[in-house]
Each structure stands twice: as C-alpha cells, then as structure tokens.
Amino acid sequence: MNQPQQPQIDLSNTEAVNNSEGTPLFQQGVLLRSVSKFVTGTSENGLIPIPVFFDPITRKVLEASVPRELREELKDQLI
C-alpha cells in the first residue's frame, strides 16, 4: 500500500517552540475523551485518546497540539 509522501522540510527554515523556562523541551501526553456507546454503535461507552504536548514545568498543554474543536474548552490549561 502506498503512503502519501510527506513534504521535505528544511529544519533551518523552522522556528523553535519554547516552554515556560525558555527551553525547547516538552513532554508528550494524552487527553482522553469519552464517547457514548450510541455514537460508537457498541455495547459500551468508549475512549478516544488525543496525543498532545505539554510543558513539563507548568503542565500546561501546547495549544498548537490540541484539536481546534477543544481549544475553547481547554483555554485555561493551554500555553
């Protein structure tokens, strides 16, 4: 099966994203969303994992890693 090719990006043309201490180190975490069994069509409610990045110092989530639909709900927990 052929996978679509990713564009070649020259990292020298990118910009660092820094945490609250000014360093570019983040951790990866997972937001969990509950979904009704009526939506999934199964016998039990389900969980949807959403991978995100967060500042290891403040534990606030990097806004750019959160789906747009959830940003307003999580606005107090974002950087």
pLDDT in tens, the chain (79 residues): 677 777 888 999 999 999 989 999 999 999 999 999 998 888 999 999 999 999 999 999 999 999 999 999 999 999 9
Per-residue pLDDT, 61: 97
Domain assignments of the chain as residue spans, ordered by start? 23-77
Distances 47 to 33, 50, 55, 59, 62 between C-alpha atoms, Å: 6, 10, 24, 22, 22
Per-residue pLDDT, 49: 97
Per-residue pLDDT, 1: 65
Per-residue pLDDT, 48: 95
The model's pTM is 0.79
